[in-house]
Amino acid sequence: MESHKDCEINGPHSMGTTIIGVTYNGGVVLGADSRTSTGVYVANRASDKITQLTDNVYLCRSGSAADSQTVSDYVRYFLHQHTIQLGQPATVKVAANLVRLLSYSNKNMLQTGMIIGGWDKYEGGKIFGVPLGGTLLELPFTIGGSGSTYLYGFFDQAWKEGMTQEEAEQLVVKAVSLAIARDGASGGVVRTVTINSEGVTRKYYPEDKLPRWHEELEPQDSLLDILSSSSPEPMVS
């Protein structure tokens, strides 16, 4: 029993996840939850799944944590070299292509789906999806991760062409919180990254700031805070 439990705690670290990328009039908004799980244990309840590739391109990671971290490290390294050689910021298309090349050529070893989003001066805001297998899809919006299954219908109804930045951010936050409500492998806080011609803005929505959905209870302060702060001494024989 002990070895089985050990395997679970040190098992492959996967991000259950809900990740979203949405274009709006002038840029893109990337959103993600913050739960990383190994089996049924939440290994990190405040992880950051939106990683920076360059100043203007960010990547949402889902699937195996080790695989997606390694892929994003390699792509950041290649993009850095590319930027130096090119002499100007890399385009979102190049970043997405690098991710796709790594994903497709190692498709038997990797288990990670990613969303690349950014802004460049040639094409403006762009979102690319690179799901399992290594396809490259250029889309106005895309969703990924285990929680995304609950959002396909929602996006079909709620997404509109040419939204404002406010509308896009609200849409992403609403969508991630809906997925968190229904998907056990997604949870924690909602993180969003907005990228436009002016730069990058990171936002953070803790659990109490998210809207309540059907049958969800209001968050309560832990009873531990209400009880007196002095704790019993730890058991020492």
Partner 1 sequence: MSNNSCMDLTAKGGFSFDLCKRNAMLSQKGLKLPPFRKTGTTIVGLVFQDGVILGADTRATEGPIVCDKNCEKIHYMAPNIYCCGAGTAADTEAVTDMVSSQLQLHRYHTGRESRVVTALTLLKKHLFNYQGHVSAALVLGGVDCTGPHLHTIYPHGSTDTLPFATMGSGSLAAMSVFESKYKEGLSRDEGIKLVSEAVCSGIFNDLGSGSNVDVCVITKGHKEYLRNHMLPNPRTYVSERGYSFPKKTEVLMTKITPMKEKVEVTEGGDAMEE
Tell me if 64 contacts partner 1 by CB under 8 A: yes
Closest CA to 49 of 71, 67, 34: 34
| Residue 51 is a catalytic residue | no
- 105 contacts partner 1 (rule: CB under 8 A): no
**72 contacts partner 1 (rule: CB under 8 A):** no
- Which three-class secondary structure state does DSSP give residue 103? helix
Nearer CB in complex with partner 1: 13/203: 13
Per CB under 8 A, does 184 bind partner 1?
A: no
Tell me how far apart the alpha carbons of residues 11 and 2 are, in angstroms, rounded to a whole number: 14
Q: Indicate whether 65 belongs to the interface with partner 1 (CB under 8 A).
A: yes
Residues in contact with partner 1, counted by CB under 8 A, come to a total of 27
Distance in Å, CB of 227 to partner 1, minimum: 10
Q: How far apart are CA 155 and CA 140, in angstroms?
A: 11
13 binds partner 1 (CB under 8 A): yes
> Out of 84, 217, 224, 226, which residue is the one contacting partner 1 (CB under 8 A)?
224
Q: Is 108 in the site for partner 1 (CB under 8 A)?
A: no
> Is 28:118 a contact under the CB 8 Å cutoff?
yes
Query: For residue 113, what are its two tokens?
Result: 């789906």
| 234 burial level (CB within 10 Å; 0-12, 13-18, 19+) | exposed
Answer for the pair 178, 150: CB distance below 8 angstroms, yes or no: yes
Q: Which residues bind partner 1 (CB under 8 A)?
A: 2, 5-6, 9-10, 12-13, 36, 38, 41, 43-44, 46-47, 64-66, 69-70, 109, 222, 224, 231, 234-237
